[in-house]
Structure 1
């Protein structure tokens, strides 16, 4: 089996024209150097070097092999360079798995700042509609880190970001929107038809659990698969919906009220194994930008 060390020895002998000089440069003994060259010759099926009285020259086989050996060593050096630059946050690619609401709310300013700080480190974003599929994707190795609801029983590294607050979204001409109140009891909306979510969207469970805690089961006027569609449909008057506050823009055409009792969920960045420098730096930036959007931990 040919090794990189053997190729390095061959290239050094060829460039110096001397076993003695090559051994000095490589910090090995001449017998050790000769042994490795002979092993390489046996592997490749013939002599690579012709040992003359005052110099060493390449055989025809050696001249054919030398460019490939040089290219292999150069490729390894490029590989090491990429690794050094990646660990130094100079370049690379990071695969990030997120829940939909995170990609709509917390993540945009994070990505903007990341691009400013690390323009040569690409981010590959994978979006999931449910916390279970997000978790499964990370476990399957489809991403370097995940950002979403704090996973129960996760045995890998995890960094909790804060508490995501939810709001009830109503049309601007809804009777409950004109009272001037900042909060609305969910029980007061028990007789309404809701802008609900498809079962594949994790917000369906959040809405069902919140309404169950208020003593009723929400009737669905329409079910949205995509989270942004629920915001637009509720603002258009099809019924109230429940959304994370950080994804509702301040100038949207509707009203957002805090539900009573409050609806919250904890968000976290979590990893399958110990994070590398890129993942660590990205998670720190997420935590930095998540602060203004999320409530403090309680």
Structure 2
């Protein structure tokens, strides 16, 4: 039977890529660490790690065990926090996994409302680039709940929040700027432009490519950025059009903002591995109530 300590040792060795560094971090001797890993391997029925000359590599058995080890450690930490909270030793912490763009545009209003009602409950954010990465992190037990697009074939609990709208940003002096107040644009009008794009693996890179494909073209790239917040700034500087969530634009944004026609939107949800615990359920209620106050969103 694997122990939590053995699972912690395995996760630490994998994350550090070295028995030596893991032993230092865990404050144990390297022989003691190796002994516990061997005991875990006996319990698992085979090797978990392949020891290479310069690094370590998980075996198929190790790859199968690792997400469950992470989930077990995360559940144990939440159990510890819940017990300490019940004993009056700490006020608790809600762990939320989300996307970078959501933490930038959606969550501030919800967290502001949360703080007014639950000032003594801490929030820890885990931010990810892509919906698939977010769902995988939730599966392995990283956080209490996730805020983002609903993952495919999710077997846990899902709560619909609403619709997030996207806009096209250009420089304020772009030739498409109109004095008649026209704010709509078809992406086909931008087919010959070089775009402010996102780095591969970024969820918004996929969204932009899909939107352009539906409009009948593949976007040429002027620049790629890892940071969602940088995209509108680069577009406003004249590097090319950018497709961004409307809610990330700051007040008084110095750029031309156009509404895609047809609209480009995505539905956001809150989801958990099982039935939401009391804190997660409370946060879902708070963000649902705050949704109408978030710019660039609508019910749905």
Same structural fold, with TM-score higher than 0.5 when normalized by the shorter chain: yes
**Which residue matches 2:175?**
175
* 1:29-70 Cα shifts (integer Å, max 9, x gaps): xxxxxxxxxxxxxxxxxxxxxxxxxxxxxxxxxxxxxxxxxx
**Which residue matches 1:274?**
275
Choose which of 57, 71, 83 in structure 1 pairs with 2:86: 83
* RMSD, aligned α-carbons: 1.9
* 1:136-179 Cα shifts (integer Å, max 9, x gaps): 11101000000011222211101011111110011101111235
**Which residue matches 2:287?**
286
Detail structure 1 runs of 4+ shifted over 6 Å in the superposition.
Answer: none
Q: CA deviation at 1:255?
A: 1.6
Whole-Å separation in 1 of the counterparts to 2:184 and 2:286:
32
Q: Is the 8 A contact 2:113 2:290 kept in 1?
A: no
Structure 1 residues not aligned, in runs of 5+: 1-77
**Which residue matches 1:159?**
159
Structure 1 residues 295 and 84: alpha-carbon distance in aligned structure 2, compared to 1, 3 A threshold? farther
Q: Is the 8 A contact 2:109 2:293 kept in 1?
A: no
**Which residue matches 1:117?**
117
Q: CA deviation at 1:292?
A: 3.4
Whole-Å separation in 2 of the counterparts to 1:193 and 1:79:
51
Choose which of 291, 295, 298 in structure 2 pairs with 1:295: 298
Q: How many pairs does the alignment contain?
A: 217
Whole-Å separation in 2 of the counterparts to 1:80 and 1:207:
45
**Which residue matches 2:92?**
92
Q: CA deviation at 1:250?
A: 3.4
Q: How does 1:101-140 map to 2 (within 5 A)?
A: 101-140=101-140
Q: How does 1:101-250 map to 2 (within 5 A)?
A: 101-179=101-179, 180-250=181-251
Structure 2 residues not aligned, in runs of 5+: 1-80
With the length of structure 2 as denominator, give the TM-score of the two structures: 0.69
Q: Is the 8 A contact 2:185 2:259 kept in 1?
A: yes
**Which residue matches 1:69?**
none
